[in-house]
Structure 1
Amino acid sequence: MADDRNRRRFTDPRTAAEAAFKAATTAKPAAPPSPPSAPRPAAVPGAREMVTLRLDSAVLAHFQKDGPGWQDRVNEALKALVPASDA
């Protein structure tokens, strides 16, 4: 009677585990090569670029104390330090 119950089991745990292992370890077919991308356009003169910049908290507080537009004020202060030939 116990043998009948085992035969009625639709999935064998060992077979299921082996199938899962085989699926996980079998090499997948290589993806087709992506189409060549268009070249990036040249930078627009005078355009701004998004960057991440680490500032001392005192420097940040100085520029933020006057409210919105603090990023423009930081940019103006940095531009004042750059020689005209580099800008």
Structure 2
Amino acid sequence: MKHDNTSKPWGFSPEQIAAALDAAPYKVEDPDTPYDPNDEAAVNAFWENAEVRMPGQRGKQKKPVKIPVSIRLSAEVVDYFKQGGEGWQTRLEEALQTYIAEHRKAA
């Protein structure tokens, strides 16, 4: 059996909410906001195309998604790239991209 929620949301009455909104500053000053938060049309335009995602859910990709593969590399190659610390797989990817670019020109 489904139970009805009989409590008030947040425990505030509509009158208390209205009083708090009336007491709030008239203008919002936020230089980091990409739109004027005091302009309702600008706020609506900004949020019109917003995507709602669950935590951990990826959004649209700017670049093509990489393909997971399993390859065997020599210890020397892995050690070389891991010596640079975090991001070693990205550096390995960049080295392979450079190799491809150089060899495509020659072909």
The structure whose Rg is larger is 1
- Would the TM-score normalized by the shorter structure come out above 0.5? no
TM-score by length of 1: 0.42
Higher relative contact order (CA 8 A, sep 6+): 1
TM-score by length of 2: 0.35
